[in-house]
A and B are shown apart, each in its own frame.
Chain A
């Protein structure tokens, strides 16, 4: 069963969102997503400073099986990207909620977080999809 930490928010496109203490958010793909995609070979990161709207394709995760878009789950501005993925895309497989994070964003409106799923809701989605 996929790991779904209770303290994160989730999107239906299998991204996770962590609200950091400074009010910014960190975003990555879920354990379920990385397992479904298989071994990562390349991650195309967003551009720092890019303004993203919810649903914008902002990154690409390429595995031995497929290349998939990562859709921004929230509105905001990209303020950091995980450069370590350039040389070590496998971090997305090994530690999807930690060292495998993809980008950080300053939110336009923190209330948007309420629109995302809780861990329980995301688990229910995974069961439905299964």
Chain B
């Protein structure tokens, strides 16, 4: 099937009309040094039959393990109605339409989504979505630099309790645009941001502080004190939050005396399946005063000449089709289909339903920690409340334990030893509302067997060596 609507005749006629012989000639002002001759490492195109086969093979490889891994993407129950409704012909598109105002239904849905996200985060305005949570943070950092005109350093403080991949992506997105990201160490004994390290890094001009809540280690940061600390230094506060947790905990808009300036995060927990890692979507909200610095599309509600409600794309002077190189971002479309799913998910659950899911996650995680804490060779890394994730420490290497668990059909968690070597044999485990008492007990038993086998094997090989 041809997805490009222009026939060769169309192309020839268009070229003739503008007096150019070929498409190459049309672009000949672009220097050859800037041109790409083919893309390396990109496989050949496949037809539908071929690609279906590849994707099936890959999905089988993922399997359907009993999942205790979170680390940024979370397994939640998704009511069957969500994707049944989202895949109706009226909704089924990944794009905001080019003739946007002709698609009132799409715009209304995005408007409802924005209202829900603003409400969840306790802030004034939301955009129509970002690519994912990590790139949303990169955009939020750029936005903070634009909005904070009292600061000239473009220094953004990034706690190590932030998701390590978010940190990498933000540096990749914004690092070459004059921003300086400063990593702030955490308190290794309790898994939250180290205030002394923060003070030490805060010498001189600051543009923004990133605060993850809950943080990557599942811990709660002292967001009120951190927010006030940043504002006292005229730095902006960027909240990185799990939207599901906001049904229970204080939203960024209420942090400290003035609230966070920008909130962003990963929208996947709101009705988007894990799907081998994507597609997901990011969200971003902010205070009204910074709206002109916000990237992405924003849908507004208005009335037409006859007084009827209508929806429009608004504040477009921020965008590249008007502001060109000075646009707030080159993001021009959004993860429309994922947003549709999330909006339906939130509509079906409502505020009470979301709070119910969040409460069940927290209760299951507390129960899981109770069970895992009693397993031989396992101890809890930190004490205190956790949302739906926590760090446990093993008395043997993590990777072979995870392999052992995988062989029993269990995705046992995220190995922290690469990104957080100072924590030793640390494993990040997660229990959402999808886990039953039996699942948790089974996980505890399997983990005990795995640790015993790995530790025993190590002892055996150590004996052989001596």
Seen from chain A, the residues whose Cβ lies within 8 Å of a Cβ on chain B are 41-42, 44, 47, 57, 62, 66-67, 69
A62 touches B317 (CB 8 A): yes
Within 8 A of A (CB), among B276-323: 292, 317-318, 322-323
A44 touches B292 (CB 8 A): yes
Give Cα A15 to B77, complex, Å. Answer: 60
Chain A interface, >50% SS class: strand
Q: A42-B317, A62-B317 given as contacts; is B322 within 8 A of A67 (CB)?
A: yes
B459 CB to nearest A CB, Å: 66
Which chain B residues border A41 with CB–CB below 8 Å?
Answer: 317
Chosen A-B contacts, 12 in total, with CB atoms closer than 8 Å, are A42-B292, A42-B317, A44-B292, A47-B150, A57-B326, A62-B317, A66-B322, A67-B317, A67-B318, A67-B323, A67-B326, A69-B326
B153 CB to nearest A CB, Å: 15
CB closest chain-B residue, reference A64: B317
A48 CB to nearest B CB, Å: 10
Which chain B residues border A67 with CB–CB below 8 Å?
Answer: 317-318, 322-323, 326
Say yes or no: is B149 at the interface (Cβ < 8 Å to chain A): yes
Seen from chain B, the residues whose Cβ lies within 8 Å of a Cβ on chain A are 149-150, 292, 317-318, 322-323, 326
B321 CB to nearest A CB, Å: 11
Give Cα A62 to B322, complex, Å. Answer: 10
Assuming A44-B292, A47-B149, A57-B326, what are 12 further A-B pairs, CB within 8 angstroms?
A: A41-B317, A42-B292, A42-B317, A47-B150, A66-B317, A66-B322, A67-B317, A67-B318, A67-B322, A67-B323, A67-B326, A69-B326
CB closest chain-A residue, reference B293: A44
Which chain A residues border B323 with CB–CB below 8 Å?
Answer: 67
Which chain B residues border A42 with CB–CB below 8 Å?
Answer: 292, 317
The winner among A47, A62, A67 for most chain B CB atoms within 10 A is A67
B52 CB to nearest A CB, Å: 46
Give Cα A62 to B315, complex, Å. Answer: 10
CB closest chain-A residue, reference B317: A67
Which chain B residues border A62 with CB–CB below 8 Å?
Answer: 317
Give Cα A67 to B318, complex, Å. Answer: 8
> Which A-B residue pairs are the 9 nearest by beta carbons?
A67-B317, A62-B317, A47-B149, A67-B323, A67-B322, A66-B322, A42-B292, A44-B292, A69-B326
A83 CB to nearest B CB, Å: 14
Give Cα A67 to B328, complex, Å. Answer: 12
Give Cα A57 to B292, complex, Å. Answer: 17
CB closest chain-A residue, reference B319: A67
Which chain B residues border A57 with CB–CB below 8 Å?
Answer: 326
